[in-house]
Amino acid sequence: MPTYSLKVRRFDPESGDAAYWESFEVELPPERSVLDGILQARNDQDGSIAIRCSCQAAICGSCAVRINGKTALACNTKLGEALERGKDGAIVVEPMGNMPVIKDLVVDMDAVHWKKVQRVVPWLLPDGPPPEREYIVPAESMIDITQAMACIHCGACVGACLALEVDPDFIGPAALAKAYRFVGDPRDGQTEERLRDLAEDEHGLYDCTHCFACVEVCPKDVAPMDQIMRLRRRATSDYGIKDGNNGYGHEKAFVNIIEKWGTLHEAQLLPRSFGQGSLIRSQIDPDSLKQLIPTLPTVINGLKSGKVSPKKALIHPKLPDQDQVRRIFDEVHSREERIELNMYIVGESGPEEES
Among positions 152-181, residues that touch another protein (CB under 8 A) are 162-163, 165-167, 170
| Count of other CB atoms within 10 angstroms of residue 170 | 24
284 part of the interface to another protein, by CB under 8 A: no
Contact between 290 and another protein (CB under 8 A)?
Answer: no
Distance between CA 42 and CA 292 in Å, rounded? 57
3-class DSSP string for 274-294? HCCCCHHHHHHCHHHHHHHHH
Minimum CB distance to another protein, residue 319 (Å): 6
User: DSSP 3-state assignment of 114?
Assistant: helix
User: Binding another protein by CB under 8 A: which of 3, 305, 334, 349?
Assistant: 305
Of the candidates 212, 260, 281, 285, which one interacts with another protein according to CB under 8 A? Answer: 212
**Residue 7 touches another protein, criterion: CB under 8 A:** no
Q: In this structure, what is the dihedral angle of CA atoms 151, 157, 159, 162, given to the nearest 10 degrees? A: -160
Shortest Cβ 130–another protein spacing (Å): 35
Is 254 a binder of another protein (CB under 8 A)? yes
Minimum distance of another protein from residue 43's CB (angstroms): 33
Closest CA to 282 of 261, 309, 252: 252
Query: Interaction with another protein in 98-157: which residues (CB under 8 A)?
Result: none
Nearest to 83, CA basis, from 67, 71, 64, 66: 67
Among positions 99, 151, 158, 213, the unique one binding another protein when judged by CB under 8 A: 213
312 binds another protein (CB under 8 A): yes
Please select the residue that binds another protein; options are 53, 149, 255, 279, rule is CB under 8 A.
255
What whole-number distance in Å separates Cα of residue 217 and Cα of residue 69?
Answer: 11
Binder among 229, 242, 260, 279 for another protein (CB under 8 A):
229
Q: d(Cα 351, Cα 235) in Å, to the nearest integer?
A: 29
* Listed residue (174, 51, 159, 167) closest to 98, CA to CA: 159
Close Cβ partners of 106 (under 8 Å, ≥ 6 residues apart): 50, 51, 52, 95
Is 59 a binding residue for another protein by CB under 8 A? The answer is: no
Angstrom distance (rounded) from CA 50 to CA 15: 14
Residue range at the interface with another protein (CB under 8 A); choices 1-9, 134-142, 175-183, 293-301: 293-301
289 burial type by CB count under 10 A (0-12 exposed, 13-18 middle, 19+ buried): middle
Q: Which of 115, 104, 120, 100 is nearest to 41 (CA)?
A: 104
Burial 202-240 (b: 16+ CB within 10 A, else e): ebbbbbbeeeebbbebbbbebbbbbbbebbbebbbeeee
Q: Does 245 bind another protein (CB under 8 A)?
A: yes
Stretch that binds another protein, among 1-9, 51-59, 98-106, 244-252 (CB under 8 A): 244-252
Identity of the residue, 119 or 250, whose beta carbon is nearer to another protein in the bound complex: 250
Verify binding: residue 56, another protein, rule CB under 8 A: no
Told to check if 327 binds another protein by CB under 8 A, we report: yes
Interface residue with another protein among 55, 111, 290, 333 (CB under 8 A) is 333
Least distance (Å) from another protein to the CB of residue 222?
12
Residue 5 is a binding residue for another protein (CB under 8 A): no
For residues 30 and 189, which CB has a smaller minimum distance to another protein in the complex? Answer: 30
